[in-house]
Structure formats: structure tokens, C-alpha cells
Amino acid sequence: MSKDKRIGEYEAFTCYYRLGDTRSIGQVNQLLRQRGLTRPPSLATLKVWSSKYHWVKRCEDIDGIVQDRIQSRLVEDVLADKAKYRAIIQECIDSFIKRFREGLINVRNPEELIKLINLDLQLVGERIGQDEIRVTIERAK
């Protein structure tokens, strides 16, 4: 930007927004003066622009959009991780069942299987008690 150019409201707002949570119109005024512009907007002009163009609300709106995008990506990442974990757990359970059916495993204490099943159920949001799983396993014997 050439130093003799006047700065507009949008450029001043962008400067304001980029200051983050500690932003203030005074800081914008100070930063614009440090740029060495021949006619930076006055503090009074910045206050008028801030009020007229709703800078605080615009920042809140933009921050909300950014937060929603971050939250959405986080949820997608967590769901992808849960899917991976569930696939691993399911492989373990399938392997256990196969070895049990082949007579390679004699189930006397199914605690490890119960833990795997419970973990799998928790990953999908289910809460099931150990006794419920134990009863189901006992009936299957």
C-alpha cells in the first residue's frame, strides 16, 4: 500500500479483527499511525466506523464461523478415530469368536471379552453394565 493512500473502513476493520481477543480501536489507531500513512484515520473516525459498521458484532460473527469450522473438523476427526478403534475391536472380537468356535479357547472368565464389548459400545455412545454383558455371554454358552 502506498503511504499517501487513505485507508478505508474495511482495511481498518481487518486490522481491528486481526488483533484478536485483545483488540481495541486505540490499538488500530496506533498501528495505522505506525504505518506512516500521510492521512491515517483519526481515532474519532475509527470510533464512528466501528459503531456504524458494527465491528464488534462482525468480529463475533466471524469468530463464531471459525469456531464452528474448527468444531466440525474436530468432530470429524474424533468420529474417524472412533471408526478405526471400532474396527480394531471388532477384529479382536471376531478373532475371539472364531477361536472359541474352533475350540481353541476355553472360556472360564470372559472379562477381557467383556471389556472389549463394553469399549465398543461406549464408542458408539451406549452404556451397558458389566452384568448385562456377562449374562448375555453366559446364556450364549
Has residue 121 got a pLDDT over 80?
yes
The pLDDT of residue 97 is 83
d(CA 99, CA 117): 17
Average of pLDDT values for 66-77?
92
Report the range out of 20-29, 96-105, 114-123, 131-140 with the highest average pLDDT.
Answer: 20-29
d(CA 16, CA 70): 22
Domain boundaries in the chain? 1-53, 64-141
The position carrying cell 459400545 is 121
Residues 6 or more apart whose Cβ sits within 8 Å of residue 35: 1, 3
Q: Which amino acid is at 45?
A: T
